[in-house]
Amino acid sequence: MHFQSHTVVERSLQTVAAFFADGQNLVKWDRSVAKVEPTSSSTAAVGTTFDTVAPNGLRMSYRITAHDPESHSTIELMPSKMFTRAVWRLQYDRVAVGTRITCDVDFTLRPLYWFLALPLILSQKKALARDLRCLKEAIEAM
């Protein structure tokens, strides 16, 4: 499954990069994340691992697999019972009024969870758009 959404924030690319440099900012805009817990001591972005804890307590583990602070980031879900693969790609582009942030999400459910495909298709596009509205508000509040 693939979902894509974007938002334009009225802030510079450097401000956007600074916002994303702090992994704790994820809780300010991703409504499925109540807490972020670093799980590596890496000082470089690529290779950094972290867990997220959802409001319902569900824990997921991630790894940053690509990162250019003024261009893009790629984050992959580490082994999961529900997903064979899940990848989030964030692209940052300068535009006349600030920075356009595009988020692409690709994921594949494991066969045992295929029954969730339709509910995910129906809910995730709206959820992603809502999260990016929250992202815009959080960055512009800086």
Q: Tell me the C-alpha distance between 127 and 14, whole Å.
A: 26
Q: Tell me the C-alpha distance between 35 and 107, whole Å.
A: 22
Give me the domains of the chain, ranges plus CATH numbers.
2-140 (3.30.530.20)
- Over 90: is that where the pLDDT of 107 sits? yes
Per-residue model confidence (pLDDT) at position 44? 73
DSSP, residue by residue, 46-103 = TT-EEEEE-TT--EEEEEEEEEETTTEEEEEE-S-SSEEEEEEEEEEEEETTEEEEEE
Report residue 120's pLDDT band, with 50, 70 and 90 as the boundaries: confident
